[in-house]
Amino acid sequence: MTEIAAPRRASIAPRRIPWPIVPFAIMLAVLVAMTVFAPYVAPLDPNQQNLLARLKPPGHVARGVTYLLGSDELGRDVLSRVIYGARVSLSVAFASVVLSGIFGSLLGMVAAFYRGWIEIIIMRIVDIVLSIPAILLAIITVAVVGPSLYTVVIVLAFTRWPRYARVAYGQTLSVANMPYVRLSRFMGAGWPRLLGRHILPNIAGPLIVVATLEFGLMVLFEAGLSFLGLGVQPPTSSWGAMLSVGRNYVATAWWIATFPGLALFLLVLSINLIGDYTRDRLDPRSR
């Protein structure tokens, strides 16, 4: 999408990674590292309250403790909560992408491979689920099942699998009739071998592109659901929930909402940039 698409001449030599990607890739790596090592990186316990140090601005020092990004309405350290919030964001997004990716790809492949009524049923369901705005589907599902970390993952996976199914379906259709696949079938290969060994490796590229772009969307969805109170429940720190609280203190304590929002923005921005880049690399037809 950026400036990579213009000249065609460099198609044989490996293209250099365009410079704007690098800082964002590093940022993403740092965020992931922060997630993994949250207990060592975070200066304070994210749930430790200090009612004497409520709503203090960034840089505030109280009893030998520095609140680098300020403190929230219960005197908890905003920086520590942002770091722990990354954990929730990334793990929910990762789990839902993996879950919906596997489920959707498998169904899409099966639909294209078997054709007939299986194809009709699966692809009709894909159309239906895709036609419901994802956030509405998520809202009603959470309203029925009740909010929790696991519900969010299941709900996100449930609303997003058709994206993968559609791509896997289209790709499998074009691969399934290739001579080598027919030959392999003729030689007696069963469907697990055909799908796993011969078809999946050939359709993995576009699926990975979808997964990368979906990842950013999943981060936003999780934050959105938590913002509405339908996601991760307090006291677990989540960026969406922090923003929701921060909204009420925007006039008096701007830092509560600003920093988790900034973290969210930077995370999604780097994922989108890297996603665009992988798409340009793996799928030259799309611009």
Q: Which residues bind to another protein, rule: CB under 8 A? A: 1-2, 6, 123-125, 127-129, 131-137, 139-145, 216, 220, 223-224, 227-230, 240, 243-244, 246-247, 250-251, 254, 257-258, 261-262, 264-265, 268-269, 272-273, 287
Cis peptide before 201 (omega within 30 of 0): no
Q: What's the closest the beta carbon of residue 192 comes to another protein, in angstroms? A: 27
* DSSP 8-state class, residue 230: S
Q: What's the closest the beta carbon of residue 185 comes to another protein, in angstroms? A: 26
Tell me how far apart the alpha carbons of residues 83 and 266 are, in angstroms, rounded to a whole number: 13
Q: Specify the residue, 164 or 198, whose C-beta has the smaller distance to another protein.
A: 164
Q: What's the closest the beta carbon of residue 269 comes to another protein, in angstroms? A: 4
* DSSP 8-state class, residue 9: G
Q: What's the closest the beta carbon of residue 73 comes to another protein, in angstroms? A: 15
Tell me how far apart the alpha carbons of residues 185 and 199 are, in angstroms, rounded to a whole number: 12
Q: What's the closest the beta carbon of residue 106 comes to another protein, in angstroms? A: 19
Q: What's the closest the beta carbon of residue 200 comes to another protein, in angstroms? A: 23
The type of residue at 144 is V
Q: Specify the residue, 22 or 143, whose C-beta has the smaller distance to another protein.
A: 143
Q: Specify the residue, 102 or 262, whose C-beta has the smaller distance to another protein.
A: 262
Q: Specify the residue, 42 or 257, whose C-beta has the smaller distance to another protein.
A: 257
Q: What's the closest the beta carbon of residue 33 comes to another protein, in angstroms? A: 21
Tell me how far apart the alpha carbons of residues 207 and 226 are, in angstroms, rounded to a whole number: 28
Tell me how far apart the alpha carbons of residues 242 and 287 are, in angstroms, rounded to a whole number: 36
**Torsion on CA atoms 259, 263, 264, 270, rounded to nearest 10:** 150
Q: Specify the residue, 95 or 138, whose C-beta has the smaller distance to another protein.
A: 138
Q: Are 70 and 256 in contact (CB under 8 A)?
A: yes
Q: Specify the residue, 43 or 261, whose C-beta has the smaller distance to another protein.
A: 261
Q: Specify the residue, 44 or 172, whose C-beta has the smaller distance to another protein.
A: 172
Between the alpha carbon of residue 187 and those of residues 194, 213, 260, the distances in Å are 11, 38, 57
Q: State the distance between the two ends of the chain, measured CA to CA, in whole angstroms.
A: 6
Q: Specify the residue, 31 or 230, whose C-beta has the smaller distance to another protein.
A: 230
Q: What's the closest the beta carbon of residue 130 comes to another protein, in angstroms? A: 9
Question: Which residues make beta-bridge pairs with 60?
Answer: 67
Take residue 58 and report the two structure tokens written for it.
Answer: 């960034």
Cis peptide before 235 (omega within 30 of 0): yes
Question: Which residues make beta-bridge pairs with 62?
Answer: 65
∠ CA 111-212-164, nearest 5°, is: 10
